[in-house]
Amino acid sequence: MGTWHTHPQRIPEPSKIDWDDWHQTLKEDRTGCSYAFFIIAGTHEARVWVGDYITMEISEIFECQKVKGIYKRVLDNSLEGYDNNKKN
């Protein structure tokens, strides 16, 4: 679930109207989904954000790097720190 639209920009930048619309979408959940995807296609690149209906946070998401046709896992140092803290 989500919304998409286009911008006449090479790399699209969300406008204040976009941010307001996305936050409104999260407030008015009628989907029963956990997340909503917000896509803006520019003239050369598209960008994607995901909104969390529980936390109401909206974050940009990225495609993982592909090596020889296989997506490479991205390690997040902050998550490693979180795991170490849990063991103590």
| Contacts to Zn ion by CB under 5 A | 15, 18
**Which lies closer to Zn ion via its Cβ, residue 29 or residue 47?**
47
CB nearer to Zn ion: pick between 3 and 53:
3
Which residue is nearest to Zn ion, using beta carbons? Answer: 18
CA dihedral 47, 60, 71, 6 (to 10 degrees): -10
- Shorter beta-carbon distance to Zn ion: residue 45 or 80: 45
